[in-house]
Structure 1
Amino acid sequence: MLKHLYIKNFTLIDELDISLYEGFSVITGETGAGKSIILGAIALLLGQRADSKTIKQGAEKCVIEAHFDLSRYNMQAFFDENDIEYDADDCIIRRELTAAGKSRAFINDTPVALSMLKELGDQLMDVHSQHQNLLLNKQDFQLEVVDIIADDAAQLTKYQQTYTAYQAAEKELAELQAAIERNRENRDFLQFQYEELENAHLVEGEQEELEQRSDTMEHSEDIKSALYTTDNALSADQNGVIEQLRSSLSALRSIEAVYPEVGDLIQRIDSSYIDLKDVAHEISSLLESVDFDPAELDQVNNRLDRIYELEKKYHVDAIEALIEKREMLHQQLQAIENGDESLDEVKARVSQLEAQARKEAEALTKLRTKAVKKIEDEMQKRLVPLGMPHVRFSIQLTTIELGVNGCDRVSFLFSANTSTPLQPVSQVASGGEIARVMLSLKAMISGAVKLPTIIFDEIDTGVSGKTAEMMAQIMKEMGGHGRQVISITHLPQIAALGSVHYKVEKNETANGTTSKMRQLDADERIREIAQMLSGSDVSEAAIQNAKALLGH
């Protein structure tokens, strides 16, 4: 229940700070006084997108804040799921807009995304404006009404899960059929490509090894020359480095006894001598192994040319990518061979899911059929007292192809007279009749949905007199049992039945036009209703009529 509303710097409102109460309340005011501005502010609290132009001219920031009492609505799960502090007695929703175009939303001082604000707002309040009467044209709305009264949310969710799986399987089947068809058309080409790569006997790492071997053989003469020069420098009998080191070691050892200082040098030269002997041995072995074979070079280059040719043909740059392509072609060919088997498996799954979806849809239809009878009886009882003694209201439930909401199409049929056949309500009902139908639907739905707050914005359009009084009685009845119903109205019959009466006024000041809303006391209320009865010149008769309406 909305218990407090604060608005600052929103269009014509400087500052509004007002308390609201449970039960049935009314808001009145002349056309253009600013009632729609207050609704616009509430819409922002419920998650509507903001426009910086709504900020009062000259102000830097606009703030809209509402306090809700949720103690009777068991809504803690939403706050726990979204990691928001929960206070059942005082839930605070705030929206801030800046002149720079920035928008921020808060729930209990926790910054939240606009989508989350809207999700919570949908559970807190329903604002029924005149344009919502157009919902009667919408088949989805009519189906939603039936589903609410049928209390079939669990069954609908169960069906939708099955239907989603069924749709996914149908999509998979269509894609598989298309892929198999494409592959079969290209089967010969795929087979040729696979055999070409398979017959190439490709091996991972082969290309690098062949490239290295080719490079080595093409430079074999340079390699042999360098190895021969090094071998000669190290191992020549007279001038080789190794022979020179051996002679040096012999000379130093001959003086070591009388000149110990050379001991360390002998060890170092001896170590170098051993290392160089090993190096010389390895170079000698390499020299013997290097042998240029033109035939082998041609063989290596021919193999490389074949690999390069395949890489160019298949638009890759490594032998590993060719191997991957070969395996992919193999899988495609296997899929073609096993296509019918795979197709049969998916077809069986589609059939199974379709049968399950139809079974779940039939269960939905049974729940809806029972609800249809209940709605028809309830609407008949509600509409007759609203000035339509010969009204007929019927719901046509027809079978359609499986869809996201089952296999039912709902159509609300209406006739205000015994002589007029039942036709879709949006085609035959007048504006006033549609308003009464919508009020009756909302009254019926409110008992099932248990929304904390419902606001009616001039739902009384097109009615007057006794009918207006009956509509007020319905709204007052809806406001019972701890619920809050607020009606914005121009009719004194409705305004008189409110437990609390607010008035919206527009004033001209030195700083421009401002709009404000205030709660009326008993005397102010009498005068306001009298003015609604008689116009700007309030007569004594109007005062007495107002008192009579108020039960004074």
Structure 2
Amino acid sequence: MLTRLEIQNFALIESLELDWKSGLTVITGETGSGKSIMLGALGLILGQRANLQAATGKKCVVEGYFNLSDRFQGFFDEENLDFDRQTIIRREILPGGKSRAFVNDTPATLEQLRNIADRLIDIHSQDDTRLLTQASFQLELIDLYGGHSSTVENYQKSYALWLAAQESLRLFREQLGGAEDENYLQYLVDELEAIKPVENEYEKLEEEWKALDNVTEIRRGIGALIDLLDADDYGMLERLRLAVSEMDKLRRIHQASGELHDRLQSTYIELKDISDEAFSLSEQIQDDPQRLIELETRMSALNTLAQKHHCASVDELSGVLIRLQQKLDDISGFTEKENALKKQLADCEAQMLKAAMVLRNARLKTVPELEKDILKTLHLLNFSGVGFSIQLEEKDCGPDGADRSVMLFSANKGQPLRPIQKVASGGEKSRIMLAIKAALAKTKSLPTLIFDEIDTGIGGETAAKVAQLLRAISGDVQLVAITHLPQIAAAGQCHWRVYKEVDNDTTHTNIKALSDIERTDELARMLSGDTTSEAARENARVLLGLN
């Protein structure tokens, strides 16, 4: 529970220290006195965003002291915060607008403060009656009342896994969608494999094609070479042979001529070898029109594929084939992985549906008890012929399960139950919400409840009934009620009055714990206005039980 609240330099509050009690604390004050300012300061330590309009130009500090049970230990460990049964939450707003938060002097984030607040305090204002029409609020109500926290957590984990599996499959398919179609890739691979491109092949093909395409010219040239070298009487070989013979004679009588003989002999041998090879080459050169067509066909096919795949040269085709084969293998692997992701998604969906069914059964079991509890409280609040029911309908799985909740209401006996948003007035919604809070208080799921003018739209005998109910609720939880009704103010075990005062032309908001006499005056003011009569004072004493 909240045990102490200290506020410095927030809006009209210069310095304020409040010691909070267990049971029912009521807060009253004239309209505009600053009751909402105090709640705004409390909101800072509960993780709400700082309202810079409330800044005073000085450092703002709000500290809340909480007495916690050991059940909070695990939560603090999860948040990496130091746990203390006497926990202090501090929020600082610097003049420049920068905000800092601390839990037991350990720096904390606003998200952590909000997580703590969800487990410590429920602040309910008159505008919150709109929550009655929201299915998510209704389901949360059922789960809190039924103590389904572990069941809800189990479902939410399975739902998160299902969402993650869905996202994994979506991203994978998105990645796969950027790759070429498997059938087209297979066609490209088949096309290249059919021609079997070989690196450095095209140069050899081109050389062979040139030879076949120019066979007549090649034959003529080689024939001319043979004639020049090996004509019977005047060929180069015959003349060189005669020269070698003459030099052979000469070297016998002139030793210095031996070197010339040897060189001529070597030249003759080389030319004779050239002549023999030329003759052999001429024998090999044959017309082959069919081979020429084959070469032209293959070279054309290679050139076409090279252009198709944007190759700088035909020699790159072998590398293209390897890359396409790898892509095709990858796509085959994609199919296998996609099937694995589909199975994972199906498994996660099955687990989610199973968890959703467990949660639905728990809710169905809780609803009758919750309806009974709320109806009992509504009867206490002068709703004698009231009808109230909660219907659970099936829907697709979502963050809060596979259920849709609809609250049905009838203010008068004999009238059909209809959705609450269509038939309930503002005052009726306030009493329904109060009955809901009373039901939740019995579960002690939250240590502190704060009602901000939940008494809107009620008065007279109903107000007295509400006061009795608030007093009863405060036996289970710490309860704070900000009210304009004297009946509710009189029910408080502790009574604070918020007021404004002017000091040196500066307006400040203050709060004061009232004595019995001061409470009498305050209730008399609430009963009759600024000018309090003795009759109003007497009525106030009756309400307070001081007669």
Q: 2:359 and 2:467 mapped to 1: Cα distance? A: 35
Who is 1:67 aligned against?
65
SS of structure 2 residue aligned to 1:105: strand
Does residue 147 in structure 1 map to residue 138 in structure 2? no
Asked whether the 8 Å contact 1:187–1:333 carries over to 2, the reply is no
Q: Considering only CA atoms, is the larger Rg found in Structure 1 or Structure 2? A: 2
* 1:156 Cα deviation after fit: 2.3
SS of structure 1 residue aligned to 2:384: coil
Who is 2:366 aligned against?
371
* 1:80 Cα deviation after fit: 3.4
* 1:547 Cα deviation after fit: 0.9
Q: 2:311 and 2:364 mapped to 1: Cα distance? A: 63
Distance 1:44 1:171, change over 3 A: closer
Does residue 134 in structure 1 map to residue 130 in structure 2? yes
Q: 1:83 and 1:165 mapped to 2: Cα distance? A: 24
Who is 2:507 aligned against?
513
Distance 1:160 1:330, change over 3 A: farther
Matched residue type, 1:20? W
Who is 2:204 aligned against?
none
Who is 2:93 aligned against?
97
SS of structure 2 residue aligned to 1:394: strand
Query: Which moved further from structure 2: 521-530 or 164-173?
Result: 164-173
Query: Which moved further from structure 2: 162-171 or 142-151?
Result: 162-171
* 1:147 Cα deviation after fit: 1.4
Matched residue type, 1:161? K
Write the deviation string for residues 467-516 of structure 1: whole angstroms up to 9, x where unpaired.
112212222122114x3100000000000010000000012333322111
Who is 2:219 aligned against?
none
* 1:86 Cα deviation after fit: 3.0
Who is 2:484 aligned against?
490
Q: 2:30 and 2:73 mapped to 1: Cα distance? A: 40
Who is 1:244 aligned against?
none
Matched residue type, 2:156? Q
Q: 1:449 and 1:106 mapped to 2: Cα distance? A: 26
SS of structure 2 residue aligned to 1:74: helix
Distance 1:327 1:472, change over 3 A: farther
Matched residue type, 2:525? Q
Matched residue type, 1:84? L
Who is 1:77 aligned against?
74
Asked whether the 8 Å contact 1:372–1:395 carries over to 2, the reply is yes
Distance 1:175 1:97, change over 3 A: closer
Q: Give runs of aligned pairs for residues 70-469 of structure 1, distance below 5 A.
A: 70=68, 72=69, 74-88=71-85, 90-173=86-169, 185=181, 187-189=183-185, 192=188, 329-337=324-332, 343-469=338-464
Asked whether the 8 Å contact 2:34–2:500 carries over to 1, the reply is yes
Write the deviation string for residues 248-274 of structure 1: whole angstroms up to 9, x where unpaired.
xxxxxxxxxxxxxxxxxxxxxxxxxxx
Distance 1:159 1:450, change over 3 A: closer
Q: 2:311 and 2:530 mapped to 1: Cα distance? A: 87
Who is 1:236 aligned against?
none
Q: 1:78 and 1:434 mapped to 2: Cα distance? A: 34
Q: 2:71 and 2:129 mapped to 1: Cα distance? A: 30
Who is 2:267 aligned against?
none
Distance 1:394 1:329, change over 3 A: farther
SS of structure 2 residue aligned to 1:7: strand
Write the deviation string for residues 5-48 of structure 1: whole angstroms up to 9, x where unpaired.
11111111111112111110100000000000001101111001
* 1:196 Cα deviation after fit: 6.4
* 1:77 Cα deviation after fit: 2.4
Q: 2:540 and 2:23 mapped to 1: Cα distance? A: 21
Query: Which moved further from structure 2: 441-450 or 457-466?
Result: 441-450
Who is 1:28 aligned against?
28
Write the deviation string for residues 515-540 of structure 1: whole angstroms up to 9, x where unpaired.
11110111101111111111111111
Write the deviation string for residues 199-240 of structure 1: whole angstroms up to 9, x where unpaired.
99999xxxxxxxxxxxxxxxxxxxxxxxxxxxxxxxxxxxxx
Matched residue type, 1:92? I
Does residue 548 in structure 1 map to residue 542 in structure 2? yes
Distance 1:102 1:551, change over 3 A: same
Asked whether the 8 Å contact 1:26–1:486 carries over to 2, the reply is yes
Asked whether the 8 Å contact 2:133–2:407 carries over to 1, the reply is no
SS of structure 2 residue aligned to 1:68: strand
Q: 1:122 and 1:534 mapped to 2: Cα distance? A: 39
Distance 1:49 1:179, change over 3 A: closer
* 1:412 Cα deviation after fit: 0.7
Q: 1:487 and 1:510 mapped to 2: Cα distance? A: 32
Who is 1:275 aligned against?
none
Partner residue of 2:521 out of 527, 538, 541:
527
Partner residue of 2:472 out of 477, 488, 495:
477
Asked whether the 8 Å contact 2:188–2:324 carries over to 1, the reply is no
* 1:326 Cα deviation after fit: 7.4
Asked whether the 8 Å contact 1:194–1:330 carries over to 2, the reply is no
Write the deviation string for residues 169-201 of structure 1: whole angstroms up to 9, x where unpaired.
344445556666775736424763798699999
